[in-house]
Structure 1
């Protein structure tokens, strides 16, 4: 009750009435000498509330625990953080379902070589790619984001923004990834979007001696981690704001991807960020 009063600013009188507790009993309890455990919980509740505001509600209890332990150089148990967050009524934002896409007739198709084997032993071993769209409020303008995702460290290897979901957007994304990783010869997995099934794109892959892999028809799960990244980006940034200006939207996407790669700790990466985990392997 103390945490709810301090963090959420709920009136003590209202809380007492809801819980059927006399005011005098609450204040008697409040004025007692706090135990060490209660002092720690009090401090943790303040930190949780501050981080919840700082990160605009995107931290669930797992990543909240990671952030607290990283910044405070502590080792708090995940169950403790979850319990305090529940008491405070704090939870992360909810991810929305992604819409489908329009079918087309492909020039070239590839087998699903990846076959949902989403684990990679080394950086640049398996890359996933896709394009997603964003809408600007009060306008017919759309912004498209093409990205390449490394299954080893969950990093965004390269990305490009554009006003059209065309070949140039996808080709530029691929070219940047190869420019930054010239020796890379990963398995390259995508859906069956028309850019990836074009002869021109296949020629690009062949030049780099890259194995192409494609999801089965209407099987988004075959590209699951890539779809997962889109959901994370949109639930933690896009859906939390109302964008009326495309330049503002572009800037926020750029900021989020930098945050995701360099500051967003992940349990799957042993509590490191994607770039920290990647650099450990490369160095």
Structure 2
């Protein structure tokens, strides 16, 4: 039997998307708050951003929807003529409601404040009567689905998988299972597969059979095969996405790094993982630092999207993509993920997106300006990128000590 879908008003969608764009809560938290699927929230956000320009061109909006307004007027007139059939239709709908899926019927319940008080001014049905009409028991109505992997043991397991995968992003389910056994954690392959999907690992690293590809998007060859060392800043940039585990759900961190200096050029922490996340930091990096000769990424749908490719082509940037299943091709940014998580994310244990954004921002500032790297001659990324001397670094450290 065909199931009806619940329709949300444009005002409600706009309200939810604006809350999503504030990025102070994970997509799971917002979806749970309003009883909406995360997939729907991602689609609403995409529609909102694609049509944002219409807010500044009212004439085009009026022209575009003028015919629709006329159609609605005509439809309203027809509906007014059908009011005489309301009793027959009510009886018919009552029978149909009982055949709907339980989850759909639960969405039809009006449980607003004062619903129990039936008066002439407030003729709403009581909650008990609504449950009776919809054939829903009180037990079914008050049942709340348990959050997956929320037990203490599961959280320990997720943390272990997170740490192992950050260090060995090429591990498949079988290797991950063996790695967990080596530290005393046993988990079945089916549960491990469910956890991989829940954590979003498939969308973040490209080991065999885990990269989410868009078959319609063009893939580009890997251009860095013969490059062993870079010669200068802005020769090669790398882009990638990783997840940050929070108390409730996950946030997604997109970053662009300069291969030569290891400097983090641009980054953004978001509650959704879409093409806007990657295009926004790419435009920001180009505006601040110019453009690179080559931009390297994995073959994920965010980097093969039309929007991301157009920015690269418009600026004359050569496009390079990792071979399928080879995260090692993007080694510069993979090493940064490991450093960030072991030195900041794991010790801090962030609970909210706001905490994570503030903490990661402080860490990246220190990473760029103060943290020395053995791979670049025990200098900081800023020193190498801007070609600063050791004396200038020493002077800066002295200033910091005096300020402290």
Cα pair distance change 1:185/1:249, threshold 3 Å: closer
Structure 2 residue 216 is the aligned partner of structure 1 residue 104 = no
Aligned length: 187
Contact 1:108/1:199, CA 8 A, preserved across alignment: no
Contact 1:262/1:276, CA 8 A, preserved across alignment: yes
1:173 alignment counterpart:
281
- C-alpha distance in 1 between matches for 2:295 and 2:352: 34
Contact 2:296/2:330, CA 8 A, preserved across alignment: yes
Give runs of ≥4 in structure 1 deviating > 6 Å.
none
- C-alpha distance in 2 between matches for 1:118 and 1:207: 28
Unaligned runs of 5+ in 1: 1-92
TM-score by length of 1: 0.62
Structure 2 residue 362 is the aligned partner of structure 1 residue 255 = yes
Cα pair distance change 1:149/1:118, threshold 3 Å: farther
Contact 1:136/1:244, CA 8 A, preserved across alignment: yes
SS in 2 for 1:127: strand
1:186 alignment counterpart:
293
| CA-CA distance at 1:116 after TM superposition | 6.6
Contact 2:299/2:324, CA 8 A, preserved across alignment: yes
- C-alpha distance in 2 between matches for 1:118 and 1:173: 27
1:164 alignment counterpart:
272
- C-alpha distance in 1 between matches for 2:282 and 2:228: 20
- C-alpha distance in 1 between matches for 2:281 and 2:309: 15
| CA-CA distance at 1:200 after TM superposition | 2.2
Q: Deviations over 1:50-95 (max 9, x none)?
A: xxxxxxxxxxxxxxxxxxxxxxxxxxxxxxxxxxxxxxxxxxx997
Contact 1:123/1:281, CA 8 A, preserved across alignment: no
Q: Given the alignment, which residue of 213, 228, 241 partners 1:131?
A: 241
SS in 1 for 2:303: coil
SS in 2 for 1:195: helix
Structure 2 residue 339 is the aligned partner of structure 1 residue 232 = yes
The 5-angstrom pairing of residues 2-151 of structure 1 reads 96-98=167-169, 99-101=201-203, 102-106=211-215, 107-115=217-225, 117=227, 119-137=229-247, 139-140=248-249, 142-151=250-259
Q: Deviations over 1:215-240 (max 9, x none)?
A: 01111111111111101100111111
1:72 alignment counterpart:
none
| CA-CA distance at 1:118 after TM superposition | 5.0
| CA-CA distance at 1:247 after TM superposition | 1.2
**Bigger relative contact order, structure 1 or 2 (CA pairs below 8 A, ≥6 apart):** 1
Structure 2 residue 305 is the aligned partner of structure 1 residue 198 = yes
Pairwise CA RMSD: 2.1
Q: Which moved more, 1:256-265 or 1:193-202?
A: 193-202
SS in 2 for 1:237: helix
- Which structure is higher in helix share? 2
Larger Rg: 2
Contact 1:143/1:164, CA 8 A, preserved across alignment: yes
SS in 1 for 2:267: strand
- C-alpha distance in 2 between matches for 1:126 and 1:118: 12
2:262 alignment counterpart:
154
TM-score by length of 2: 0.44
- C-alpha distance in 2 between matches for 1:278 and 1:234: 23
2:328 alignment counterpart:
221
